Structure 1
Amino acid sequence: MSAFKALWVTENSEGGTTIEITERDSSALPAGEVLVQVSYSSLNYKDALSASGNKGVTRNYPHTPGIDAAGTVLESSVAEFNPGDEVICTGYDLGMNTCGGFAQQIRVPAAWLLKRPQGLSLREAMVLGTAGLTAALCVDKLEKAGVEPGQGPVLVTGATGGVGSVAVKLLAQLGYEVVAATGKEAEHELLLSLGASAVISRAELAANANKPMLKEQWAAAVDTVGGELLFNVVKSLKYGGSVACCGLTAGTNFNANVFPFILRGVNLLGVDSVELPLVVKASMWDKLSLQWKLDLSALVREVSLHELPAAIEQILAGQATGRTLVKLR
């Protein structure tokens, strides 16, 4: 048994949540084969929802959010992992209903863990985190659907967010012409520095939502926001184009018709990084450590556990950009 610090979210009498930094003991952690000393985590929109009491993410409180964690094995009851091994854990139930990475220790099933790829440090892995993994999965899915550089512009919505910003950087590095869409005018220069060839406003992208079809513009798209904006993207794909859909910050529903699908043969591709088989995650992490390795230093801000509550408020207010790395060691 050992003591460690953790972010602790409790429900309060006003119907909201109270966030504090508290000391816990490893004996209070849930069952699992592997105990990990966490060095880094990262802040995602889902973490902020969990911290704000969203029952669609976390059913029971008190709770420690954090869907990402990277650190060193302290104890293991399985042969696959030994004390001292450096590991990554993203998705599954971590930080949702299992105490997550906003703590200096986690205990999880061995089936959730990957050994750190040689080409990434623990810090670099959490700079990517679930957001970077999701961005890579979106690009991979588009390429498997036949999208190649030179076919035309690729749109990225919600481009200043965690997934969007990594997607812009990755697509540009792979040779695609990237158009970034954002509602944050002040961040246009950042997006251009990441490799976007042009930046358009969210309002421009949302125009003419009442029309059944729009002018063909995009060879492909990565959509991180969902809602009505997503179907405007579908309606403006070029013939045979595809959009990888992975987010819902603009809403979970949209009004659709069949015209883009049956007249232009476009594809709406769903992307999940949570319940993905571990072997698929491992393959994508290997890719991100080698041929798809990115320099994301311009996107990262690092916070301590004590600075994390303010960062959570910022992401809930829509004011966060890029990636927020949480240092726990």
Structure 2
Amino acid sequence: MSGLKNQLSNIFTMDKVLPVIINGILIISVVICAMVILNLINEKRMRDKLHGKTTKKKAEDVFLNRVSLFKRFYQNLEFFLIEKGKEGLLDIYYYGFLGVNACILIGFIVVKQYFLAIVIPLFLLYIANKIIKMLAVDLMEQIEEQLPSAIDHIIRVSSKYGDMKSIIYETARSCDNPLREILENISRKMISGDAETVLLQFGEEYDNVWINSLVFTLISYMEDASKTTTIENLRHLRNILEKENRLKKSRVTDAKYSVAINYFIAVLASGAGLLNIVLNPKGREFFFSSFLGLICFLLGYGAVLGTIMLNIKMTRVKKSK
């Protein structure tokens, strides 16, 4: 009996059990992340198919991919921090990220993975650019959020003024940016140009279903529609847009619980993988000295980055096409 206990105590030592536990946590986390990502991708494809959306590769997108990643990262980070009112932290974030990338490069050189020492930092820079763009404030999201209030102002102002230039100008004074600046620009163009043409150009520039609906309602008023009919149409448009905005926000709110769980899993997977590499020599040897281990390492952290990006998409209000 004592011999069996001694054998078990020799087998289940901390040095042998800890790597197994960490590897198990890492594998389970990677599998869960992969399942979450596949589920989200499938849901997105179903939504896109339902709405008839297709993706097209634009020539300018191909050109942008050839521009310096570092320059684009700095510019995108600068614009993002200006939007957040934290432009003073630009150098800290920029050089901090470059410092982390430099540590990753040195780490891969230490474990003699020279190819990954070049590819991984550049890939992380590319992903950072994508994430910053996803986090940036979307102009159309802001406009759609402000449109119901602007339509209310148009209805109120139209009872005092008859010409479209004055209606747009007075409405602009009651709005916040960016819609205020847009409407002020439209009213200035109407001084020297035809109001109907200016409105059509406004609709073509932003190519949004709600803006186009507003434009054609105002044009119909300028042509032959009565003021009563126009006001009814504007109120109907405002009500639909308000309902749509509420639905978008509710979808984001409903997704927050799933997003929190996904972030927790991503952090757990990253932490378990890092501990396994730092504290477990056998784990470090497996990940960086074998083909299978290298594949597991890349897929694992790739799944974590994919989870983060999909979570950001889930928490953004979708603009209408």
Shorter-chain TM band: under 0.3
Who wins on radius of gyration, i.e. which is larger? 2
Q: Specify which structure has the higher proportion of strand.
A: 1
Larger % of helix: which?
2
State the TM-score, normalized to the length of structure 1. 0.20
